[in-house]
């Protein structure tokens, strides 16, 4: 097999050219800037780094970012599963439109989503007035941040679960029901194990995206230090003060978190096979 593959390389032309162009552009856009991050990091003193990334305000921002991203991703995991189920298993009027609008958060610029959600949920806005009667404030609180992150994360779980659910053979369910299983039992014991890897993959992708999200959150958050200040915003404010050392230190912590999530995702995706990624 190996021998065979070696020969294939010779048959189709353009290996050198295509790989050359790929690596050149990849280097210019991704690798060199990332290296400069590494070089800059190497110049930071470890003590200074630790002091920056564990200062009270930074720790508070991790907490805000982490809890809001987690809450939003959990909401999306549940709602995404329901929506994917509805889109795959049921026929109803308007189904194609519902399927088509899942990608709105990808197509709509985050800043536009941000100002729209904020303007709606402030005290004088439509939604803000409604919730104000019950004493719930949305804009400029962590609830507002969570709402913005739910918006951003909707497509991830739906689009991850949907193709896998389409491939689950209905015969399994028929077999289960013939053997006398309840519908809910069939769902949790037969269908859920099949789609669980894709559900977790969608969840982790949404979670990673939410942790780094800036555009939609910055308007609705209010950006109060210790209360509603997310980590990306903190990096932004350090950059505006030209404090590159602090900005980079905090960014490294975020990158480490993102890579951890990417790693977990890769492990889970290899289990849910090539249905999702297409890359071997």
Partner 1 sequence: MKTQNKGGAVKWLLVAVSAFFLIVMLILPLVYVLITAFREGIQPFLAAVTDPYALKSIQLTLEATVFAVIINTIFGLFAAWSITKFQFRGKKVISTLIDLPLTVSPIIAGLIYVLTFGRQSFLYPYLKAAGISIIYAVPGIVLATIFVTFPFISREIIPVLTAAGTDEEEAAALMGANGWTIFRRVTFPHIKWALLYGIVLCTARAMGEFGAVSVLSGHLRGKTNTMPLYIELLYQGYDFTGAFAMSAILVVMAVCILILRNVFEYRGKKNEE
Of residues 20 through 49, those in contact with partner 1 by CB under 8 A are: 21-23, 25-26, 29-34, 36-37, 40
* Cβ(216)–Cβ(15) below 8 Å: no
Q: Are 253 and 53 in contact (CB under 8 A)?
A: yes
Please report whether residue 270 would count as binding partner 1 according to CB under 8 A: no
Tokens (6 digits) for 112: 């536009």
Q: Binding string to partner 1 for residues 103 to 142, with x set by CB under 8 A, is what?
A: xxxxxxxxxxx-xxx-xx-----xx---------------
Judged by CB under 8 A, which of 3, 45, 56, 100 binds partner 1? Answer: 100
Question: Which of 3, 13, 134, 178 is close enough to bind partner 1 by CB under 8 A?
Answer: 13
Out of 53, 194, 214, 243, point to the residue binding partner 1 (CB under 8 A).
214
192 binding partner 1? (CB under 8 A): no
> Minimum distance from CB of 154 to partner 1 (Å)?
7
CB of 202 to partner 1, least distance (A): 14
Supply the minimum distance, in Å, between the C-beta of residue 51 and partner 1: 19
- Rounded to a whole number of angstroms, the minimum distance from the CB of residue 13 to partner 1 is 4
User: Which residue, 9 or 133, has its beta carbon nearer to partner 1?
Assistant: 9
Euclidean distance between CA atoms 32 and 173, whole angstroms:
52
CB of 117 to partner 1, least distance (A): 6
Interface residues for partner 1 in 224-243 (CB under 8 A)?
A: 232, 235-236, 239
77 is a contact residue toward partner 1 (CB under 8 A): no
Taking the mean position of all CA atoms in its chain, how far away is CA 85? 20
217: Cβ–Cβ under 8 A, 6 or more apart, which residues? 114, 145, 148, 149, 230, 232, 233
Which listed range, 14-22, 52-60, 128-136, 193-201, lies at the site for partner 1 (CB under 8 A)? 14-22
To partner 1, the closest distance from the beta carbon of 135 in angstroms equals 20
52-71 binders of partner 1 (CB under 8 A): none
Q: What Rg, from alpha-carbon coordinates, does the chain have? A: 23
Closest contact distance (angstroms) between CB of 216 and partner 1 is: 8
């Amino acid at each position: 097999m190996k021998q065979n593959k070696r020969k294939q390389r010779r048959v189709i032309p353009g290996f050198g050219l295509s790989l050359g162009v790929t690596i050149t552009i990849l280097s210019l856009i991704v690798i060199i800037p990332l290296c400069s991050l590494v070089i800059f990091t190497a110049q930071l003193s470890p003590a200074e780094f630790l002091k920056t990334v564990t200062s009270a305000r930074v720790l508070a921002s991790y907490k805000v970012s982490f809890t809001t991203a987690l809450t939003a991703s959990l909401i999306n995991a549940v709602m995404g599963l329901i929506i994917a189920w509805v889109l795959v298993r049921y026929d109803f009027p308007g189904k194609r439109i519902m399927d088509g609008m899942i990608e709105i958060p990808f197509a709509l610029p985050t800043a536009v989503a941000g100002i729209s959600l904020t303007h709606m949920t402030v005290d004088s806005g439509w939604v803000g007035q409604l919730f104000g009667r019950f004493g719930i404030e949305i804009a400029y609180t962590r609830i507002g941040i969570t709402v913005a992150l739910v918006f951003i994360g909707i497509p991830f779980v739906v689009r991850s679960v949907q193709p896998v659910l389409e491939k689950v053979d209905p015969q399994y369910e028929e077999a289960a029901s013939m053997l006398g299983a309840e519908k809910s039992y069939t769902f949790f014991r037969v269908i859920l194990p099949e789609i669980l890897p894709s559900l977790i993959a969608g969840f982790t992708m949404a979670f990673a995206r939410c942790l780094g999200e800036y555009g939609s959150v910055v308007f609705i958050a209010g950006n109060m230090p210790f209360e509603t200040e997310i980590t990306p915003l903190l990096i932004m404010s350090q950059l505006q003060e030209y404090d590159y050392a602090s900005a980079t230190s905090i960014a490294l912590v975020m990158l480490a978190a993102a890579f951890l999530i990417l790693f977990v995702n890769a492990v889970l995706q290899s289990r849910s096979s090539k249905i999702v990624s297409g890359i071997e």
